[in-house]
Structure 1
Amino acid sequence: MSRTFALTLVATPIGNLSDFSPRAIQALKHADLVLCEDTRTTARLLSEYNISVRTEALHEHNEEQRVPGLISKLEQGLQIALVSDAGMPLLSDPGYRLVRAAIDADIPLTVIPGPNAALTGLVLSGLPPHPFMFIGFPPPRSSARKEAFAKLHAAEHAGLAATLIWHESPHRLSETLVDMEAIFGPSRQGAVARELTKRFEEVRRGTLSQLAEYYAANTPRGEITVLLGPPSETQETSQRSLDDTLRSLLETHSVKDAATLAATAAGLPRRTVYARALELTTKGKN
C-alpha cells in the first residue's frame, strides 16, 4: 500500500504540455486543493487534461500570510498539491515558506519531478554539467547585477569552478550579458537557451563577447536561461597567482594587512581574500 502524503509538490511543463507526466496528472486529480502561482495559467493546464479541482493562488505577495492557515488545513487531513506556472515549484517560484512550515509541523510531503528549465538548458548548453550552481534571476539593476557577478567571480578566485545558471527576462538579456562580459571577461564561454521545449527552441553558444554582440543586435523573445561555463585553465592560474601573492605578503604582514593589499592588487572583495588568507595560514600551521 502506497504512503499518503498531505502536501505534494508537482512539476509542470515549461512549454510543451506533453511533458506533463501521468503521475502528475493523477496527483492533481486526487487533490482537494491545488495551490497555483497564477490560477489563470494553471487553469489552462487543468483544462488540457480534464482535471476538475479547486484552485487558490499562492505567490510571493501572499505566501507568508497564507502559510499558517494552509498548515492547519493539512493537519486536518486536506490533500494539497502545489504547482508553479512552469517547472519545479520553489526554484525561482513560491512555495519554500510552505514547505519549511510543513517540515517543521511534521507534515508528510513529497514531490513529483518533471520539467526544469535550468537543468534542460544545462544539458543542452555544451558546458560542463557538473558541478553547477543555479542562482535564479540576477538583480534587475546594472549596479546590483555587477556587484552580484563580482562576488561570484571573487568566489572563483577562491576556488569555485562550476557552471553558473540564471533565468533572465528578454528585455534585460542584452544588458545582463554586457555586465557579465565586464566582470567575467569577454572570452568566457557561455550559452543562452530560449523557449525550451517549445516550437522555437533555441540554444546559442559562444563567448560572452559573441553572445553580448548577438543579442545587442537581435532582441530575444520568450523564456530565457543564461549559462556561464567555469573558469578556463588560464583563469584558474589566477587563483594560484593570488595564493602566491598572499603567501609572499603573509611572510611580512598580518593576515588583515596581507588580505587588504592582495585584494587591492587583484581587484577582489577584501572579505573574500581575507577568508582565503586565513585558509592559507591554517594550512601552513598543519
Structure 2
Amino acid sequence: MIMICRTKQQLREALENKRKQKPGLTTGFVPTMGYLHEGHASLIRRSVAECDLTVLSIFVNPLQFGPNEDFDRYPRDEQRDLALAEASGADIAFLPTVEEMYPTKPLTSITVDVVTDRLCGASRPGHFDGVGVVVSKLFNLVQPQRAYFGMKDAQQVAVIRRMTDDLDMPIKIVPCDIVREPDGLALSSRNVYLSAEERSQALVLSQSLAKAKSIGETAGKTVQGLIDEVSNHIRESQLADIDYVELLAYPNLTPLAPNQLLLETPGELLLAVAVKFGRTRLIDNRILSFSEVTIDV
C-alpha cells in the first residue's frame, strides 16, 4: 500500500526509515502537479523498474503560475491520483499544502539563463523561476538518485538538467517519451478543459509535428521554411491561436539562423509549439535530426 505523507517531516521520517531498512537503496522521484494520467503512470513505472524506492509528489506550485493563468482552476482529484499512483507501483506519495511548502514567502530565487529565453520562458515570464525553486526544494527533501520528467515539456527538462549540472546536484535527470492518445493528442492534465470541438481541432498539433521530418528532409528546406509550413498547417484549425512555433538546437535551446539549411544542421533540434484552443493552452514538440540525411545527386 502506498504511504501518504502530507508534511515535510513525515516525508523525511518515511525516507529515513526506508533507508535504514535497506542501506544503499536507490530512490527514484516523479514530481507532478497531480490530475495524473497515463503519461505520469509511465514515469512511475519506469522509476519502479529502475529504482528500489519510488517517491511521487503531487503539488500545484503557485510560484510557476502567472497572474492571469489557471492556478485556481487547475484540475485536482486526490483520490483518483492516489489510486493511479498505487496501481503504478509508487511507494510514497508526498501531498503538501501550499502553506507546508512555503510557510513564508520565499526570498530565494533560482534563475536558469539562456535556456529560458525562448518558448514558454519568453511567453510566461517567471514561470521557470518558480519551477526552479519548487524542484530544488523537492530534490532536497527527497534526495533521489534519479528523477523522471516527461518530454512533453522539453524546455522544462532542459532547464532542470542545466540546473542540476550547474549546482552539482547528484541526481540523474531521466527524460521520458511523450505519451499520446491513440489519435495522437499528447496527454495533458489540461486536456480536460477542452470542448469536444476544441479537442478535435487540437489534433492539428501532433499532425503538424508528424509531418515535420519529411518537410525538413526536402532539399533546400531552411529553418524558417519548416517553421512557416508547420505554422500554416496549424492555422488550418480555425480555433488555433498560436503562441509560438520554434525550431531550436537541443538541449541548449539556442536559436538557429532562419536561412540555415536543415540538411546541413548538425545535432538534435527541438520543434516546439504552444497553441491556445479557447482558454486552454497546449504544448507539444518533437526532437528532429537532419544531419545524417544524404541527398542523391
Q: State the structure with more CA Rg.
A: 1
TM-score scaled to structure 2, two decimals? 0.34
TM-score scaled to structure 1, two decimals? 0.35
Structure showing the higher helix proportion among its residues: 1
